[in-house]
Amino acid sequence: MPPEPNIDALLDIADEVAITWVREQDGLAEVIDALATCGRVALDTEFIKRDTYYPRLALVQLNTGDHIYLLDAPQLQLGDFWQALSEVDVAIWHACGEDLGIFYLLSGCPPLTNIFDTQIALSYLTGQLQMGYQQALDDQLDMHIDKEQSQSDWLQRPLSDEQEQYAIDDVRFLPALYLSLEYELKKQGLYGYVWADCQLYASDLYDAQHVEDEAMYLTMADYRYNSQQMAILKGVATWREELARSTNQPRTFVIKKQAVREIITEKPSNMRELAHKTTMHRSMLRLYGEELLKVIKEAKNLHPAEYPDCLLPPYRSKNKVLSKAVQQAIDEQVEAIGVPANVLMRKKWLGQLYEVIAFDKNLSELPEGLKGWRNKWVTQTLIPVINKHKTELQQGMGINV
């Protein structure tokens, strides 16, 4: 157990920490040296991605404990910095999803294995999966910060005083938040679980950043789509991804998800149908309508053997015997280890587990989240419970038994 942190003392340290702007390449050497010796570092980024496919990194903020550095990202070559960051013992973030997406995009590094996400940590203590940073500081440190600058123009120079203060505050109190959470998690025996889930999240983000264009359609697929609709979806989603990247504009600027769904169901074959049966933006329709129609036609004309597989249906049943048995097993494990139910077992994982059991798949196909510290409980307790109701499970998934 670490000693219980003195929050007031930590906040006093945070108020007195030195602040340095790094605007020239030579200044980055000091930052890299600090990362090599600090043990843990708190980080955040500011970026713009409202109208581009690739986010534009504007600022990197890091707090080494006794120093806050503000990296003027557009002026710097950050390759060595990214590498140094990957070698720190603990990299502390809050809600690091978009930040790590940028890291992986720009660094070329493999999945990070040193992540501590305070949002994930808070989910273990509160059951709230997406607590914002402002609420986290209020609840844990009784500290209030202003978040009004979050959507401002971070590429403007110089930054306003309000923007600079916002950027500093985003990392000023992160070390204190980490130490507070570390103490409470270790006191409850949960720190190892949190650490493992943080690394799992970092790996998932890496995988999401490296999805092939041809596989993007799976993020929008629906089990109710037939095989031809899946072929159309794959064609349209691949086309959208390639066009968005080549023109450096957001996917939704090319075609929104609602319009993609309308194309799947309506299967337009000419410009009139594309215009009247979908909500595709008229400017995109004029620019790319004919090209999109070719994509749709090619997908419809594929031989059925070339269609992608349909998604397996989820478990649905009016008979709640299986659901109640599973929930009881989850509740008992929650009571045993003190992890909230929505953290212990995500709905997505449970659906994937049902699929593995219903279709007699190998346990190696379990989701990664059920292969770590949850695996012993899943294999020794939860799977036997589900197997007792396997017939109901298969019937609920439309499998003839």
Asked if residue 178 lies in contact with residue 116, where contact means CB atoms within 8 angstroms, the answer is yes
| 157 has a pLDDT exceeding 70 | yes
Q: Return the closest-CA partner of residue 358 out of 320, 401, 324.
A: 401
Query: Where residue 273 falls among pLDDT bands split at 50, 70, 90?
Result: very high
Q: Return the closest-CA partner of residue 284 out of 317, 260, 309.
A: 260
Query: Where residue 147 falls among pLDDT bands split at 50, 70, 90?
Result: confident
Fold that domain 213-306 belongs to in CATH: DNA polymerase; domain 1 (1.10.150)
Mean pLDDT of 125-153: 90
Asked if residue 231 lies in contact with residue 301, where contact means CB atoms within 8 angstroms, the answer is no
**Which residue is listed with tokens 């699929």?**
355
Mean pLDDT of 329-340: 98
Mean pLDDT of 160-169: 95
Q: CA 326, CA 334: separation in Å to the nearest integer?
A: 12
For 7-209, CATH number out of 3.30.420.10, 3.10.150.10, 3.40.1280.10, 3.30.1330.10 equals: 3.30.420.10
Question: What is the DSSP code (8-state) at residue 44?
Answer: E
Asked if residue 170 lies in contact with residue 44, where contact means CB atoms within 8 angstroms, the answer is yes
> Which token pair is 131?
């607590």
> Which token pair is 32?
């890299």
Read off the amino acid at residue 80.
D
Q: Strand 115-117 vs strand 56-63: parallel, antiparallel, or unpaired?
A: unpaired
Number of residues that this document lists for the chain: 401
Question: What is the DSSP code (8-state) at residue 154?
Answer: T
| 340 has a pLDDT exceeding 90 | yes
Asked if residue 42 lies in contact with residue 171, where contact means CB atoms within 8 angstroms, the answer is yes
**Which residue is listed with tokens 């003190």?**
338
| 166 has a pLDDT exceeding 70 | yes
Greatest extent of the chain over all pairs of C-alpha atoms, in Å: 70
Mean pLDDT of 39-44: 97
| Ramachandran sector of residue 182 (left: φ over 0; alpha: ψ -120 to 50; beta: rest) | alpha
Asked if residue 354 lies in contact with residue 386, where contact means CB atoms within 8 angstroms, the answer is yes
% residues pLDDT > 70 (the chain): 100
Supply the pLDDT for residue 401. 67
Q: CA 180, CA 176: separation in Å to the nearest integer?
A: 6
Three-state SS at 27? helix
Q: CA 113, CA 90: separation in Å to the nearest integer?
A: 9
Is residue 393 packed enough to be buried (19+ CB in 10 Å), middle (13-18) or exposed (0-12)?
buried
Helix-strand-coil split of the chain, %, nearest 5? 60, 10, 30
Q: CA 267, CA 293: separation in Å to the nearest integer?
A: 9
% residues pLDDT > 90 (the chain): 94
Q: Which residues contact 128 (CB under 8 A, 6 or more apart)?
A: 122
Helix (H) or strand (E) holding 253: helix 251-254
Query: Where residue 319 falls among pLDDT bands split at 50, 70, 90?
Result: confident
> Which token pair is 275?
């215009």
| Ramachandran sector of residue 116 (left: φ over 0; alpha: ψ -120 to 50; beta: rest) | beta
Query: For the segment 194-210, what is each residue's pLDDT rounded down to a tens digit?
Result: 999 999 999 999 999 99
- For 110, other C-beta atoms within 10 Å of its C-beta total 10
Query: Where residue 151 falls among pLDDT bands split at 50, 70, 90?
Result: confident
Q: Determine the straight-line distance between the first and last CA of the chain, rounded to whole angstroms.
A: 53
> Which token pair is 120?
């994930």
Backbone phi, then psi, for 211, in 5-degree steps? -70, 130
Mean pLDDT of 13-19: 95
Strands across the sheet containing 56-63: 18-22, 67-71, 56-63, 40-48, 90-93, 115-117
Cα-only R_g, the chain: 25
Query: Where residue 318 falls among pLDDT bands split at 50, 70, 90?
Result: confident
Mean pLDDT of 19-47: 97
